[in-house]
Amino acid sequence: MSKADPTERFAVSAESESETKTVVEARDFEFVVDEPAALGGTNEGPNPVEYLIGAWAGCLNVVVHTVGEERGIDLDNVAIHIEGDLDPRKFLGIDETTRAGYQEVNVRIEVESDADEEALEALGAAVEERCPVGDNIENPTPTDVTLEAA
């Protein structure tokens, strides 16, 4: 990141190993995306929507610690719980009127801290405002998906 261009670029590459299993590379890391056996997968990794909310949890963790430190709030422990409801009918081609993604996602962040309730409420608001993954989930982001012959 430079003063002239503060933008950071992040990228992944992925290869399909089966109809449900994908191996993703990000920097020097590799991870498996799969579906549970009940959904036709081999259950070798979390599914895409679990990774989405898992990524949000990871981002919230970084942001709560960053903002807490900026505000002089000591955080002895942070636990993040996220759950969402998803209707798979659009994905399955059964109902075009429903949304393909989560209908609702609830996040609960538990912190152990000596900070008072007002400071923790302000911390929570700042964390929600500054979390990049949460921003992408809560707001439309322009995307461009291209399918081409290899």
Helix (H, G, I), strand (E, B) or coil at 13: strand
Beta bridge partners of 85: 104
What fold characterizes domain 48-138?
A: GMP Synthetase; Chain A, domain 3 (3.30.300)
Average pLDDT over residues 53-72: 99
Q: Where are the domains of the chain?
A: 12-46, 48-138
* Mean pLDDT of the chain, nearest integer: 97
Nearest alpha carbon to residue 84 among 100, 98, 102, 99 = 102
With contact defined as beta carbons under 8 Å apart, do 41 and 53 qualify? Answer: no
The CA distance from 73 to 115, in Å, is 6
Average pLDDT over residues 59-82: 99
Single pTM value for the model = 0.93
